[in-house]
Structure 1
Amino acid sequence: MIDFIMIKPVNLLQCLFIFLGIFGTLLLWGQKRLQGVAALLLYYSVLMLLNLLEELNITKPLFFITPALTLLLGPILYFMSRQMVGFYFQANWRVICHIVPTLMALPFTHHTQVVIAIATISQLIYIYQSEKLLNKFNWSIFNTRSDAENLQLCWLNYTLMMLAFIFIIDLVRLNVRSLTSEVVYYHWYFIDLALIFCILCFMVLRLSRQSQLNGQAEPPAISDTVHLHKTLEELNNSELAQKLFDEIHQAVMADSLYLQAKLSVNDICARTQIKTKDISWAINTATNKNFNDYVNELRVKEVQKQLSARRSSQYTLLDIAFNAGFNSKSAFNSAFKRFTNMTPSAYAKLHTRGE
């Protein structure tokens, strides 16, 4: 009876999962693009609650379903990624198909190793598909937005890869249980859970701080930006690309469009009447740069111009950067160093000495 009520450190960690799941769901569910993340947190909250009840022998004698529930994790990660890039959830027969394996596994949950092995393979497949989708989205962002650094989801790519690594390690843990002591097995399990908990906390903090992502009503449509205009692509005409780019560049410079913090290809399209697909194609072909790099290079030159014009004494370096169109210190520092091979502060000091 004493063992029945004994609480272990891993059980306390499971309680933290439950709290994080409830808190994160309440925090993120109201934002349409983040509902997939909220669903992931809710999933872990329910899973850890069932794990806790099973390990305390409260529900295990009656039912044992957590191995089957691991088959839901892959689809949830994939739908979370789709939601983040703007393919919003719609209940239909295809969604139900993703749930069927979980239902089919329920009668076989006592074959824990087999079920979790199948679930791990499923998770890796779904993560691979999610990575492909996120890569397309990031490519699209950097070719259509000048504030891509604040909207990109590269961090989510890395997060999913870390989860995939943990899932594989956890599968190894289950299959070597007979070869390890209970102490090693227990600590291994605790470390796996702790790593996943840290990743979920990171996701909640990252999304709560990424205000540009949260505030953007609709993400750019991948289908409109990833595939370039067929006529131009088939022509592969560098002269035509240069002609279009010259027109684009002239419009950007004439109206100083690069000073707009959230400049996109749609803004240039409205100014030049050139299709957004053709704008991306022309810039890529004529400059070997994506749209984001093209605009940021103009902004860096504007900062250099302001410093050279001796107007910097009344403004801080960050003020000059913001006036040039940058909307974050990290984006400014990264772009400036990439195009000048110097940090902004080092360049400013060198400029001051030169005077």
Structure 2
Amino acid sequence: MFLAFPAFGKYSTPLLFLSVQGLIFAFLLLRRYLKDKNLSDAFLFGILIFACYGQTCYTVGFLGWYDTYQNTKINYALFSVGIVIAPLIYLYIKSITTSKFRLKSRDFFHFLPLILFALYRGSIYVLDAMQPGFHDVQNGALKLSLDEPYVQPLMTAFGFAQMLLYLAFTLQLFYHYRRKINAFFSNTYKLELNWIRNFLLVYTFLFLYDVVQTIISSFFVELGYTQQWWLVFFSGIAITYVGIKGFFTDTTKLKKLNFSFSPNKISVPELQNHPKKEISEDTIQQIKRLMESEKPYLDPELNLIDLAKRANMSRSQLSETINLGFNKNFNDFVNLYRIDAFKKMIEAEKHEQLSLLGIAFECGFNSKATFNRVFKKLTHTSPTEFLRTTV
């Protein structure tokens, strides 16, 4: 009997490998949190550890645990880990995008569904354990008559609704934050923002896949364990990806950013119920003269506060002038001057002394990835292609 477990095969082995990888990075994050006290590491540790818990429950099943130990009580400990991962996703992104983020007592209410469900499951386990013959079966009377037919379907529906809401709120938080960065900083934090975007896309994909699979299994064709294996496998890949990228992507620089105002959106005049605010030509020319004479765009750390001080304007006034007077956000406005400076240096044959990246750094860019992305966006060609057509 004991030789039946563990049974390594094409279903169990990949899940076991991915779960172990996730656990390794989960504890690396925990170790770093204990050292640096960075709350985002603690939240990501929580995401990974609960995801690995759900993954492990499926993995031991494919390893033959349930067939070998048919009176195991593990079903009392199984639950939809989404009820805890959903708020952890929100708090993780919030801790990254909020300057001086602190965990408040009200934040613990996010985990109230998990606490209540744990108390409920513990209660029915105790009551079932008091019944004769409990130790000879896998599920007790209440587990079979109450939990599986009624509570579990309700918790599944609740979990989907909760994950949908938290993902919606988190995506809104991220896109609002990204818009503020583009309006405030001249060199955006592309690597870190891409990580947050990809992280949210991964969990959005898993959520949608789970919803579709549940609908098919509930209303059309009941899916077997091997057919449901693909969701578990994709979840394992997600755990490994999130663990590796989350550990090695430095997001601490994002949480240090501070925004003291909300930038205005560029409005579309024909959609407005009131006339578009006019920016005086003198103000526009003032900004142009400043950019051309003092060349503040050469500073890679230039932000809206710095430029506002140089222009003797408030931050909101400068933001409004750039948005409405130049029809650009702050990021594109400054980078357009950097691109023009780069083109002039190429025309002056500076590329014979410096590499293209060296010239980009001279013009105020702070990374190769940012330079290439911005150049392609604003000129619709690559720096190499531009050099080839110019020389």
The question of a shared fold, defined as TM-score above 0.5 by the shorter chain, is answered with yes
Structure 1 residue corresponding to 2:322, chosen from 283, 288, 295:
283
Aligned runs of 1:28-67 on 2, under 5 Å? 35-49=39-53, 52=56, 55=60, 56=65, 61=73, 64-67=76-79
Q: Which residue of 1 aligns with 2:140?
A: none
Q: Which residue of 1 aligns with 2:245?
A: 203
Q: Which residue of 2 aligns with 1:83?
A: 95
Q: Which residue of 2 aligns with 1:214?
A: 252
SS of alignment partner, residue 246 of structure 1 = helix
Deviations 1:18-44 (A, max 9, x none): 112112333466567x63254223332
Q: Do 2:33 and 2:41's aligned partners in 1 also have CA atoms closer than 8 Å?
A: yes
Q: State the alpha-carbon separation in 2 of the partners of residues 151 and 278 from structure 1.
A: 30
Q: State the alpha-carbon separation in 2 of the partners of residues 251 and 218 from structure 1.
A: 28
Residue type at the aligned position of 2:190 = N
Does residue 373 of structure 2 align to residue 334 of structure 1?
yes
Structure 2 residue corresponding to 1:22, chosen from 14, 19, 27:
27
Does residue 327 of structure 2 align to residue 296 of structure 1?
no
Deviations 1:59-104 (A, max 9, x none): 9627733416431111111111111111554344421321111122
Larger relative contact order (Cα-Cα within 8 Å, sequence gap ≥ 6): 2
Q: State the alpha-carbon separation in 2 of the partners of residues 345 and 302 from structure 1.
A: 16
Distance 1:236 1:124, change over 3 A: same
Higher mean C-alpha displacement, 288-297 vs 170-179: 170-179
Q: Do 1:17 and 1:44's aligned partners in 2 also have CA atoms closer than 8 Å?
A: yes
SS of alignment partner, residue 79 of structure 2 = helix
Aligned runs of 1:130-279 on 2, under 5 Å? 130-150=170-190, 153-174=193-214, 176=217, 179-185=222-228, 187-201=229-243, 203-204=245-246, 207-208=249-250, 213-215=251-253, 218-221=256-259, 224-226=261-263, 236-240=276-280, 242-279=281-318
Distance 1:92 1:296, change over 3 A: closer
TM-score under structure 1 normalisation?
0.83
The alpha-carbon deviation at position 46 of structure 1 amounts to: 4.5
Q: State the alpha-carbon separation in 1 of the partners of residues 279 and 231 from structure 2.
A: 61
Q: Do 1:47 and 1:66's aligned partners in 2 also have CA atoms closer than 8 Å?
A: no
TM-score under structure 2 normalisation?
0.76
SS of alignment partner, residue 306 of structure 2 = helix
Higher mean C-alpha displacement, 282-291 vs 340-349: 340-349
Deviations 1:254-281 (A, max 9, x none): 2211001111011112222311111111
Q: Do 2:279 and 2:321's aligned partners in 1 also have CA atoms closer than 8 Å?
A: no
Q: Which residue of 1 aligns with 2:166?
A: 126
Structure 1 residue corresponding to 2:386, chosen from 334, 347, 354:
347
In the alignment, structure 1 segments of 5+ residues that lack a partner are: none
Deviations 1:123-179 (A, max 9, x none): 111110011111111111111111114376254234313312212322444562872
Aligned residues: 340
What root-mean-square deviation, in Å, do the aligned CA atoms of Structure 1 and Structure 2 show?
Answer: 3.2
Distance 1:47 1:347, change over 3 A: closer
Deviations 1:208-261 (A, max 9, x none): 4xxxx534662132x513358xxxx99943233x43333233223222110011
SS of alignment partner, residue 76 of structure 2 = coil
Deviations 1:270-305 (A, max 9, x none): 222311111111101011111111111101111111
Q: State the alpha-carbon separation in 2 of the partners of residues 60 and 278 from structure 1.
A: 67
The alpha-carbon deviation at position 17 of structure 1 amounts to: 1.9
Q: State the alpha-carbon separation in 2 of the partners of residues 289 and 340 from structure 1.
A: 15
Distance 1:320 1:147, change over 3 A: same
More helix by share: 1
Answer with 1 or 2: which has the greater Rg.
Answer: 2
Does residue 112 of structure 2 align to residue 97 of structure 1?
no
SS of alignment partner, residue 251 of structure 1 = helix
Distance 1:283 1:28, change over 3 A: farther
Percent of aligned pairs with the same residue?
19
In the alignment, structure 2 segments of 5+ residues that lack a partner are: 122-146, 266-271
The alpha-carbon deviation at position 16 of structure 1 amounts to: 2.3
Distance 1:75 1:226, change over 3 A: farther
